[in-house]
Amino acid sequence: MNIRKSILPALVMFAVLALPTPAFAVQGSMMTYVNAVLLSSTPQPSPATGLMWGGCMAYLANPITSFSNSPNCPDQWVSFSCDGTYATQSIAQMMVDQAQLAFATQQKVFVVVDDTKLENGYCTATRIDVWH
């Protein structure tokens, strides 16, 4: 009986420790300005990296690594995934429209990016709001 009492807690502890730990996506957000918008009907490789980028991007005024939660994104470019990889093409186009509006009117945007949704190394925006 004493063996059961000592083995059972050890087995439970082992089972808990053996469970895989979930990987959490880092979603960062910040208020910033849009300094450029990049669009292409056929995404071309980036001159800097030689990689594709999803067909539409925005260049933000602040580095993405300065966002709250500091997602692991390479620079200030963020993809909207216009090729349909991480968002429907219609949603991606609406996000591009928001970025263009903010760029044209010099208004701040609230941007949320996800560093697990990468377009060949560039983080993808999951939300963009224009603020006045």
For 29-86, write each residue's pLDDT tens digit. Answer: 889 999 999 988 765 665 555 557 788 999 999 988 776 666 678 789 999 998 888 9
**pLDDT score recorded for residue 23:** 47
Residue 55 in tokens: 């067909």
3-state secondary structure at position 50: coil
CA terminus-to-terminus distance, the chain: 71
Domains of the chain, CATH where assigned = 23-131 (2.40.50)
**pLDDT score recorded for residue 60:** 95
Amino acid at 117: K
Instruction: Answer whether 35's CB lies under 8 Å from 61's CB.
Output: yes
